Amino acid sequence: MTTLSIFNQNQPQTPHTVTSDPRMIGEALAGQQVRFERWPTRELPAAASQDEILQAYADEVASLKAACGFQTADVVSLTPDHPQKEAFRQKFLDEHTHSEDEVRFFVRGEGLFYLHFGEQVYALMCEKNDLISVPAGTRHWFDMGPEPEFTCIRLFTNPAGWVASFTGEDIASRLPRYEGLVGAGA
């Protein structure tokens, strides 16, 4: 279930706010300039190719490209049997920023975005049909969990794709990881 948990960075063990109400999630994120939408489901075969997935969501992707200037879109997918799943998880677990918006649409599965705003950290458990657009320059990190299971459409303005600038802060290590939030209702 899509869930937003908000933590004070100085009390990282327990969120002070938790909601699964899509309207409340949207309002809280909009207050931080984060785009959050729920797109309609498209039935796709489990082994759908990148081209099939992009074709199924062609109208939505084209609309975002036109509205936001994105140049490219691709599909990323990880499953629990991927031989490099731990290395991929580690790559995204430290706080970083981007010079462009980070956009993900979850075609299947789930993943946890952490967004750091001042003293607050918003942990958004995204699931199938969720679109999140993290504004350029926003401190954040992503946790796919120890047994990743997701497929996402990614959009980029930079044709080079995902390029991060790590902050060097240890905030990500002080908050509960995916495993701690999933079991706690996030």
Domain coverage including residue 68? 3-182
Q: What is the pLDDT along the chain (186 residues), one digit of tens a residue?
A: 999 999 999 999 899 999 999 999 999 999 999 999 999 989 898 889 999 999 999 999 999 999 999 989 999 999 999 999 999 999 899 999 999 999 999 999 999 999 999 999 999 999 999 999 999 999 999 999 999 999 999 998 877 666 778 999 999 999 999 998 875 555
The CATH number that applies at residue 119 is: 2.60.120.10
In terms of C-beta density within 10 A (0-12 exposed, 13-18 middle, 19 or more buried), how is residue 67 classed? exposed
Question: Structural domain tally of the chain?
Answer: 1
Q: For residue 35, report the phi and psi dihedrals to the nearest 5 degrees.
A: -85, 130
Distance separating alpha carbons of residues 186 and 143, to the nearest angstrom: 13
